[in-house]
Amino acid sequence: NYVLAGLGHDVVPCDSLDGACAGADALIIANNHPAFGAINLESVVGCMEQGAFVYDYWNNLGQLPTEVLKDRYFTVGNIAGKY
């Protein structure tokens, strides 16, 4: 944590993804690590601002039902939104 604090710019380490996304307008997933496929999208988006969205370069959560993804989950090549 002291390394992050030394960076300035109000960098604050978080213990969870929900904590990191609290109040955010967007979450950008730019990695295909298997952990990103286990994200609880409803929980994460629930912590974010109204109208927030997730932009996922790797479509890690594309297997989720359309009802869960609609209007809040976008992938590369899908700027208009498949869901």
Backbone phi, psi, residue 78, to 5°: -140, 45
Are the beta carbons of 51 and 23 closer than 8 angstroms? no
Helices (H), the chain: 2-6, 17-21, 41-47, 66-69
Q: pLDDT class for 11, splitting at 50, 70, 90?
A: confident
d(C-alpha 45, C-alpha 12), whole Å: 20
- For residue 80, pLDDT over 60 is answered with no
Other Cβ atoms closer than 10 A to 54: 22
- pLDDT tens digits for range 25-70: 999 999 989 999 999 999 999 999 999 999 999 999 988 999 999 9
Binned at pLDDT 50, 70 and 90, residue 10 comes out as confident
pTM score: 0.80
Phi, psi of 34 (to 5 degrees): -55, -30
